[in-house]
């Protein structure tokens, strides 16, 4: 079973499993994606991690679960809502799964639960350091998963994806649109390294994690093959779009202060700030990760070809009339 099968990552995991010949139960919270999931051959079940009764029905007859459902950042939501989905919801799923005799659960976390080091690649041994309510809730969910793995009530591992992108991704769409319109800018030099992971490679990593049943109570960071600076990536996107390369560099400290002010004003009003500190950090902090543990223990190695991946993303945006 794949939870969050209607979401971006969950949909790619579902499709990969079906392509490999597995029977897949796709768990979604509402019927919005039912038709497209059934069309590709998934058995669809409507359930919510906050609703234990619906989970009990969803897990009947299930051998393994990819727990990918989660609440991502949304403006105006209280921390309690992130906790209810990403932490308490995780406990609900694990408890119901154990009761139903599910043998293995692969849990999706995020590299955001640690503070990336700026001098060397970060790895699974780095301490927790969540920076916002979303990351705190994901840390709590990860710790709950590890608690169950450690108790040997169910086996499994935690997957921490690096920065996810790929065909149809709406989170990186803004970067492509701004470059296409000549409005993209840097905060600082644009030289900080970012480790991306193509969603198709990430789906493969999830499958490998499920198949390596000898691995239990482990955490795996899943990055692409090589990190790339934001400037290199933006220049390449501009070339592929036939647009002028971004040239504007804004000073770091004033933009950090502006982000803090915007958050302080907008958050109580439950509106999305036009700029916020986390977005400034995207430009000014490296996100470089060591993927050697996943390579050595799961046999995962990204097939990353940055140029081809960007071509695929651009083609998908054009097909959907997004750029």
pLDDT at 262 over 80: no
Position 266 confidence tier, pLDDT thresholds 50, 70, 90: confident
Q: How far apart are CA 311 and CA 314, in angstroms?
A: 5
Vertex 281: Cα angle to 264 and 243 (nearest 5): 115
pLDDT at 250 over 90: no
Mean pLDDT of 62-82: 87
Q: How far apart are CA 138 and CA 85, in angstroms?
A: 9
pLDDT at 251 over 90: no
* Closest listed residue to residue 161, CA positions, set 44, 7, 29, 284: 7
Beta strands in the chain (DSSP E): 2-3, 25-28, 43-46, 64-67, 104-108, 155-161, 163-165, 186-187, 193-194, 196-198, 218-222, 228-229, 249-250
CA distances from 18 to 9, 15, 40, 43, 207 (A): 14, 5, 8, 11, 11
Q: Which two tokens stand for residue 67?
A: 């727990």
Position 42 confidence tier, pLDDT thresholds 50, 70, 90: very high
- Sheet hosting strand 155-161, strand order edge to edge: 43-46, 25-28, 2-3, 64-67, 104-108, 155-161, 218-222
Domains and CATH numbers, the chain: 2-169+194-226+287-303 (3.40.50.720)
Q: What's the DSSP call for residue 132?
A: S
Q: What is the pTM of this model?
A: 0.93
Which of 239-257 are b and which e, b meaning 16 or more Cβ less than 10 Å from the residue's Cβ?
Answer: ebbeeeebeeeeeeeebbe
Q: How far apart are CA 18 and CA 11, in angstroms?
A: 11
Alpha helices in 40-169 (DSSP H): 52-58, 79-82, 89-100, 133-151
| Segment 157-199, tens digit of pLDDT | 999 999 999 999 998 999 999 999 999 999 889 899 999 999 9
Q: What is the dihedral of CA 124, 128, 129, 134, to 10 degrees?
A: 100
Q: What's the DSSP call for residue 114?
A: B
Contact 97, 65 (CB under 8 A): yes
The torsion angles phi and psi of 132, rounded to 5 degrees, stand at: -150, 180
pLDDT at 269 over 70: no
Chain centroid, CA 70 distance in Å: 9
Residues 6+ apart with CB under 8 A from 118: 285, 286
Residue 277 has a pLDDT of 67
Contact 159, 210 (CB under 8 A): no
Residue found under tokens 């991946």: 309
Q: Which two tokens stand for residue 182?
A: 């000549």
Residue 132 has a pLDDT of 86
């Amino acid at each position: 079973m794949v939870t969050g099968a209607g979401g971006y990552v969950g949909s790619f995991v579902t499709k990969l499993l079906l392509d490999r010949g597995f029977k897949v139960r796709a768990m979604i919270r509402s019927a919005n994606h039912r038709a497209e999931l059934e069309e590709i051959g998934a058995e669809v079940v409507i359930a919510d991690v906050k609703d234990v009764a619906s989970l009990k029905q969803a897990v009947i007859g299930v051998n393994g679960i990819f727990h990918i459902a989660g609440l991502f950042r949304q403006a105006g939501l209280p921390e309690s809502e992130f906790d209810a989905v990403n932490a308490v919801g995780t406990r609900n799923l694990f408890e119901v799964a154990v009761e139903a005799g599910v043998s293995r659960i692969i849990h999706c976390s995020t590299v955001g639960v640690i503070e990336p080091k700026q001098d060397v690649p970060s790895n699974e041994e780095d301490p927790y350091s969540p920076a916002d309510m979303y990351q705190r809730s994901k840390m709590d969910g990860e710790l709950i998963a590890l608690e169950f793995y450690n108790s040997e009530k169910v086996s499994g591992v935690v997957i921490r994806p690096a920065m996810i992108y790929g065909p149809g991704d709406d989170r990186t769409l803004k970067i492509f649109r701004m470059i296409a319109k000549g409005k993209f800018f840097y905060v600082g030099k644009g030289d900080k390294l970012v480790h991306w992971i193509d969603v198709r490679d990430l789906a493969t990593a999830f499958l490998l994690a499920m198949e390596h049943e000898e691995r239990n109570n482990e955490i795996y960071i899943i990055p692409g093959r090589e990190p790339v600076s934001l400037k290199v990536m933006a220049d390449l996107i501009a070339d592929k779009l036939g647009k002028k390369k971004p040239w504007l560099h804004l000073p770091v400290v004033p933009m950090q202060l502006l982000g803090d002010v915007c958050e302080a004003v907008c958050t109580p009003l439950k509106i999305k700030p036009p700029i916020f500190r986390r977005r400034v950090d995207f430009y000014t902090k490296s996100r470089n990760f060591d993927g050697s543990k996943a390579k050595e223990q799961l046999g995962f190695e990204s097939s990353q070809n940055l140029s081809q991946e960007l071509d695929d993303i651009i083609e998908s945006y054009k097909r959907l009339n997004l750029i």
